Amino acid sequence: MAGKFSLKLSSMVAEKNRKWWALGAMASCISMMMIDQTVLPLALPTIQRNLHVSDLALQWIINAYMLGVAAFVLAGGRLADLVGRRFIFCLGSLIFAVASALGGMSPNATWLIASRALQGLGGALMGPATMAIIIDTFAVGQRGKAIGVYVGAGALFLSLGPLIGGILTNYASWRWIFWINLPVSLVGIFLAL
């Protein structure tokens, strides 16, 4: 009798915690997307010197990401509904990670602009799926708290981006502002699965 109770209790705890693991995965996603928007501007002068980038190309390095998100966000939401939200979230996170790795290895401006556009595609797949997953995972009474944690994580990393970007650019390399997304993405995928 005690064994059955213990098994039932452990499955209830696991089910109870499952939604918080999902929220952790979604918070890692929004953190990665937000930090990516604010970490780059501090590194632009260093990137310009190292890759011999024109001022116009610098603008495209920033805008390619936003263009990628804007162009594919509606398709990302629809694909999440058709194929599955968790699958599209994981696919978007994987694309974002691969694009970040490519951005960190950029030998020239064209490569970096293309990797930023690919990051935008990954963000467009992740973004709509994250909110849908949170809404599906949490009951109505807990949704506000979950969305608050999600948005709070995004706001925190949006504000930490310049600090992290400055530290990485000064003490490591501008390439680390892209490579830092790899472990965050892997953690998000692991938690989602």
Residue 190 in contact with residue 182, Cβ under 8 Å? no
Cβ-based neighbour number of residue 159 at 10 Å: 12
> What confidence score (pLDDT) does residue 113 get?
97
- Unique residue bearing structure tokens 């398709």: 75
Per-residue pLDDT at 171 exceeds 50: yes
Pick the closest to residue 185 from 122, 138, 132 (CA basis): 122
- Element counts in the chain: helices (H) and strands (E): 7, 0
Cβ-based neighbour number of residue 161 at 10 Å: 21
Per-residue pLDDT at 6 exceeds 60: no
pLDDT digits (tens, 9 = 90+) for 57-85: 999 999 999 999 999 999 999 999 999 99
Q: Using 50, 70 and 90 to split pLDDT, how confident is the model at 10? A: very low
Q: What is the mean predicted confidence (pLDDT) over 110-123? A: 96
Per-residue pLDDT at 32 exceeds 50: yes
Radius of gyration in angstroms for the set of CA atoms belonging to the chain, rounded to a whole number: 19
- Unique residue bearing structure tokens 């190292």: 50
Q: Which two tokens stand for residue 57?
A: 């190309």
pLDDT digits (tens, 9 = 90+) for 150-166: 999 989 989 998 999 88
Helices (DSSP H) in 52-106: which residue ranges?
55-83, 85-104
Q: What is the mean predicted confidence (pLDDT) over 18-45? A: 87
